[in-house]
Structure 1
Amino acid sequence: MHRIGYVLTEGFQVLALATQSVFEFANIVVGETFYAVENYSAAGGEVRASLGLLVSTRALADNSEADTWIFTGVIQPLARQTPAAELAFARKVSPQARRIAAICTGSFVLAEAGLLSGRRATTHWAHARDMQKLYPEILVEDDRIYVIDGPVWTSAGMTAGLDLALAMVEKDLGADIARSVAHKLVMYQRRSGGQSQHSELLDLAPKSDRIQSALEYARKNLNQALTVEDLAKSAHLSPRQFSRVFTAETGQSPAKAIEGLRLEAARLMIEQSRHPLEVVAHETGFRDRRHLREAFIRGFGIPPQAVRREVRERA
């Protein structure tokens, strides 16, 4: 049995508790209680979440044991007064536990306890700059869903905690179990740690189902030409009407939006695979390697080779 201890602080962000469902459904998939989850706090008793929900917790003590400790975040980490007992406990259990993790701004607790010094880590993008400024000895990767550095795991904000928990399940029980858990939780996709916190689809934020369907069609067919006529057909609109509605809803032309989707997919493919750039260009709809490079510099300010080099150095 693998024991997981969640450490809650007054005002913790309630979405952190949603990650416990990942471990719950892992137990269901394997047909036994592989994970045992308990909630803790410095003093024990009821702890109030940011939305007002009261959660019963056990007090952190010298005999508190878990294989994985997960520290949760708050909405305003710079205003947080982390209990001294919580910091002392984190320092004590860090060398003993199999893993020590933080969800969202829970990374600030690990940073304050000195557990991230000299390590790579991430947190919610809105607070990453503050973390880097306060703790310059940490290599803060502000554009990652989650980061694993040895036994220390940190995630970006909110829903990225689900990806972190699912990655733990994959590490413990294998990829097939993790896929089954994701399917049962109706997770849109399993995101890797290297995936950017930035989402091109989210930025576009179309309002109508028709434009959303067209973008989803585009995302699934990036290796195709994807003309306005193709997109309009998937949205059941005329090309002229589609272009007008698309621009009104997203603030971008269809061509610019599709290039953004292609760039996002290409960057992810470069970060997570060893495919030659010619293959990356073909799979994401660029004419050739040169076209990919031009679009990369235009979109990110750096060539694709620089991204691949950065990934290798980080590895």
Structure 2
Amino acid sequence: MTDSTLQAIPRRTGKLQRIRGSTSLLLGLLILLVIVICAILASWLFPGDPREMVSAPNLWPGSNPSYPLGTDMMGRDVMAQLFYGARASLAIGLIATVLALVCGVLIGVVSGYFASTWLDDVLMRVTEVFLTMPRLLFAIAIILALGPTLFSLSLALGATSWPQIARLVRAEAMKIREQDFIRAANTLGLSHTRIIFRHVLPNSVTPVMVAASVLIAQIILSEASLSFLGLGDPSLVSWGGMVGSGREVLRTAWYMAALPGLAIFITVMSFMLIGNGLNDLFNPRLAIRK
């Protein structure tokens, strides 16, 4: 066993101990795991179309054992819609986050590596243009142009979320490019592309892991807002759409809006807890204390 391997063992052990000691990270992962299981088991527990009428309308939760969370004004099973809504929210959140990360990380690392050059100026001006646009209005414009589908929702939310990732990665890349090993790579004549993707990028993405968990929570909230406004995919059941439908009977059957709203809240909180836990995990000051 080499010396480097022996030195890596305490670091890995210390990180595992910090993971086990992070209540917010473990709680967030546990909640998210439950939500993912619900999304996976939706078609098995509730076969058929969740938008079909299955019983009398406006059944309150607990009034019929066959439908524990009741039915909506159309006689559709609320529990089935919640399970299928988890699929839509997680799918759109994941796809849009991946699009935002790919675009933001690439632009940020290139801009940071070539800081104070014309390329950096162009990329940052484009980023600032996107930052000054109202995110929700820009997303609505994209959806209206492409039509309300899963792809257009993901594209619209991803296209409006990458600038903050780009600025974060740019700041990290600017720090990394001043390190001695980057200067040594330049001295050896390595190409800019190789230096960026082999050295700068791997050392710049650690803060992105924390930002990604917060970003996916923001995207899920934005998707719920768009679905609430009637801009969601009509072929999918979404929590935002359920809240939008439930507002019509808010005084007489508040549970129709409250239950999907609670699902959105729990899901967003799980990602925020994960983000806080990851921030503690990658915080060097906290690591030194522990």
TM-score bin (small chain)? under 0.3
Q: Normalising by structure 1, report the TM-score.
A: 0.21
More helix by share: 2
Of the two structures, which has the highest relative contact order with CA contacts closer than 8 Å and spacing of 6 or more?
Answer: 2
More strand by share: 1
Q: Normalising by structure 2, report the TM-score.
A: 0.23
